[in-house]
Each structure stands twice: as structure tokens, then as C-alpha cells.
Amino acid sequence: MKLIIVSILLLLNVSYLQAEKIKDIANIIGVRDNKLIGYGLVVGLNGTGDGSSSKFTLQSLSNLLQTVNVKIKPADIKSKNIAAVIVTATLPPFARQGDKLDVVISSIGDAKSLEGGTLLMTALKGVDGKIYALSQGSITIGGMNGKGGGQLNHSTNGSIFDGALVERDVAYDIYNQKFANLSLKRSDFNTAINIQKALNSFFDAKVAIALDPRTIKLQKVQDMSMVEFLAKVQNISVDYKKEEKIVIDERTGTVVSGINIHVSPVVITHGDITIKIEPRKTISSDKTEVNMGDGVNIAVNKNQLNMDNNEITVANITRALHKLGAKPKDIISIIENIKRAGAINAKLEII
């Protein structure tokens, strides 16, 4: 069994507050994006479109041709230069008629590629069934990225920059309102109280009250419009403790974490690797060790890894395992099990 001993100085895990603007940690309730979706046809494909098995594509083309007085049965259509697609977009708050939106196009048939295609006019609807935008244009295919550093064909997905025009507004009556509500992006009693105190102090009036750990009710001051009031509210800074989080993408083998997420003493075995994290009062000065950078040393002729840092973090462990040649899936598994053992206090999110 390969033994890896991670020995370092362990310090107290002290959390520090930092100032954040309210707009970065809270949303104004009611002011939000809206999702749009539509069904359309892509034409101009070089034989890479849907085949005869995608009957909905042939029926859609037949219906389209009838609008220009060309009547043809779906069964008589043999073209492979068309593809049925789903078109999606995001309508931002306060978007107005004539504004442009980016759209994403995804094949729903058996098309091999949308490269070189043109999306025909497609109505984009909201959840209420109303048309909010119209999309049309030449499709751009994204890059070629794959799992594990290889290449993966994503040519059945594409996009059109500024590919949709807004046709209908979403009504937001902000100006005439006297009250508004803030919603914290992460529920926290202390943060809600800090925002309440900061706002009441800034305006020298009782303009804010925390209703719960996520919601703060606001009442605008008399000499301001709601727009001006909310603009000032969003730019006020408050003491805020960020949530420590580790994000793992098991599909791509990516691990993202803060550099100061501490790991408590623990021993873990994974396959032929054993990691032992324990306190060490003094840093080893063994001259037989080979320095690999980042405070990582490997002892010559020993299956031992020493980390001469003043604290142990997830970032330290990840870098050390990477330098030893551990595979991404092994690194991810080790981090997950360290979390299960209770040696990591940060939230673990797997996507």
C-alpha cells in the first residue's frame, strides 16, 4: 500500500467578515429574469439535418410550405437539410420592445449537426403562453470540448448572438411603489440583521425590517423616488460572511474550492493511497526531500509526502495529489470521503 503522510501546522479556523454591497448578496423581489422557449426549424444544413424518422420535422416543414401556397405531404419530403430545434432565451427585467437577446438552439431530432444552418423565424413564449420575442438568424456552433481533455462534438447545439428581438414588455411598476422587499441569496439571520441595521443607520430612519433570515421589507423615504431609493440601498456595504463551498464536477473531473477551506486531522485510505493528516509542531528540514513547489516535498526513496505549509486546506491536498499523479476521479473521491468523515466544514456541492 502506498502511504502518503501529510504533516503540517494546524491553526485555528477563524472566519473573517468582509464588506459586501447589498446588490451582491440580495435580490429585489419581483425584479428578475424570465425564461422563454420556442419551437423552430433550421434550414440550410448540408445533409446533416433530421432524417425521415423525425416525422414532426417533416410535418413542420409541410405546414410551413402551406403558408406560402406550396402544398406537399410530409411523406413526400426527402430533404435532410432541415432540423427541428428548441430555441431558448432569457428575458431580463425591464427589457423593452426592440431590445436584442442571445438565443440557444438545440436539436430535438436525429440531426448530426446544425453547423451552417439558419434558424427560421421562431416565436419565443413565456410560461403564460404569450409571445415575448422573435428569433431568426445564422447559427454559430460553439467550441469542441470534451471529457478528460479530449474532444466532444457539440454541433447539435448552437447559438445566435443578439438573435432575438423583444416584442412584448414585462410590466414592472417600480416608480409608484412605496414598499419593496429584499431576498437574500443565502438565508442567514446575522446577514439579515446586518442589512437592517446598515439601512436604518444610513437613512437615519426605520426604512428596513428583517421579516425572516431571508427577507427584508423596505419602505422608501419621503423625499426620494423608489428608483433612487433602491439605487442607494443596493450600493450600501454590510458585513457579510461568505459561505465556504467546494464545487465538484464529476463529469469533467473539476474541483473548485476556496483557498482557505481548512481540513481537520484525519486518515483516509483510497485504493492504494493512504493519506494521514496530523498536527506537527515543527517543519521537517530533511535535506533528502525533493521540493516540488507550493510547499510540497517528496522524500527520496520513501512513499511519503510532506507539506511544509502553516495550514492544511482542500487546495493543498488537491495540488499535492495532482503532483503525485493521482487521477481526477481519485482526487474527487478522496475529497468527498474527507467531507463525509467530518474533517471539512464547508458545503460540498456535486454537479
Each residue's pLDDT tens digit, 320-340: 777 777 788 888 888 888 888
pLDDT on residue 218 = 96
Asked if pLDDT for residue 152 goes beyond 60, the answer is no
CATH number of the domain residue 232 falls in: 3.30.1360
Are 45 and 90 part of one and the same domain? yes
Can you name the residues that pair with 247 across neighbouring β-strands?
256, 349
Are 157 and 58 part of one and the same domain? yes
Minimal CA–CA distance to 132: which of 264, 233, 37? 37
Are 160 and 39 part of one and the same domain? yes
Long-range contacts formed by 188-194: CB under 8 A, 24+ apart: 188/213, 188/241, 189/213, 190/241, 191/25, 191/238, 191/240, 191/241, 192/216, 194/238, 194/239, 194/240
Instruction: Report phi then psi at 24, rounded to 5.
Output: -90, -15
Residue that is last in its domain, among 240, 257, 274: 240
Q: What mean pLDDT, rounded, does the chain reach?
A: 80
Cβ-based neighbour number of residue 229 at 10 Å:
21
Asked if pLDDT for residue 69 goes beyond 60, the answer is yes
Contact 218, 208 (CB under 8 A): yes
**How does residue 145 score in pLDDT terms, banded at 50, 70 and 90?**
very low
**How does residue 248 score in pLDDT terms, banded at 50, 70 and 90?**
confident
Contact 235, 22 (CB under 8 A): yes
The percentage of residues in the chain with a pLDDT greater than 70, rounded to a whole number, is: 79
- Please state the separation of Cα 157 from the chain's center in Å: 19
pLDDT on residue 13 = 36
| Between 160 and 347, residue with greater pLDDT | 160
Are 79 and 200 part of one and the same domain? no
Q: What's the length of the chain?
A: 351
| Rounded mean pLDDT, 185-195 | 92
Are 11 and 103 part of one and the same domain? no
Are 66 and 140 part of one and the same domain? yes
pLDDT on residue 267 = 76
pLDDT on residue 76 = 80
Cα–Cα distance, 232 to 239 (Å, whole number): 17
> Three-class SS string for 260-309?
CCECCCEEEEECCEEEEEEECCCCCCCCCEEECCCCEEEECCCCCEEECC
Are 213 and 253 part of one and the same domain? no
SS3 333: helix
SS3 63: helix
pLDDT on residue 287 = 54
Are 80 and 196 part of one and the same domain? no
Are 98 and 154 part of one and the same domain? yes
Contact 246, 347 (CB under 8 A): yes
Q: Which range marks the domain in which residue 138 is found? A: 34-166
pLDDT on residue 141 = 87
Q: In degrees, to the nearest 5, what angle opens at C-alpha 226 toward C-alphas 183 and 32?
A: 40
Of the ranges 41-55, 116-130, 229-243, 265-279, which one carries the lowest mean pLDDT score? 265-279
**How does residue 171 score in pLDDT terms, banded at 50, 70 and 90?**
confident
pLDDT on residue 5 = 41
Can you name the residues that pair with 58 across neighbouring β-strands?
none
Contact 140, 160 (CB under 8 A): yes
pLDDT on residue 308 = 46
Residue that is last in its domain, among 132, 151, 166: 166
**How does residue 73 score in pLDDT terms, banded at 50, 70 and 90?**
confident
**pTM, 2 dp:** 0.66
pLDDT digits (tens, 9 = 90+) for 82-107: 999 999 999 999 999 999 999 999 99
Residue that is last in its domain, among 132, 149, 166: 166
pLDDT digits (tens, 9 = 90+) for 192-223: 999 999 999 999 999 999 999 999 999 999 88
Asked if pLDDT for residue 316 goes beyond 80, the answer is no
Are 108 and 57 part of one and the same domain? yes
pLDDT on residue 105 = 95
DSSP codes of every residue in 230-268:
HHHHHT-EEEE-PPPEEEEETTTTEEEE-TT-B--SEEE
| Between 306 and 5, residue with greater pLDDT | 306
pLDDT on residue 16 = 47
Can you name the residues that pair with 273 across neighbouring β-strands?
2, 270
Tally of domains within the chain: 3
Asked if pLDDT for residue 149 goes beyond 60, the answer is no
Residue 325, C-beta contacts closer than 8 angstroms, at least 6 positions apart: none
**How does residue 15 score in pLDDT terms, banded at 50, 70 and 90?**
very low
Instruction: Report phi then psi at 338, rounded to 5.
Output: -65, -40
**How does residue 286 score in pLDDT terms, banded at 50, 70 and 90?**
low
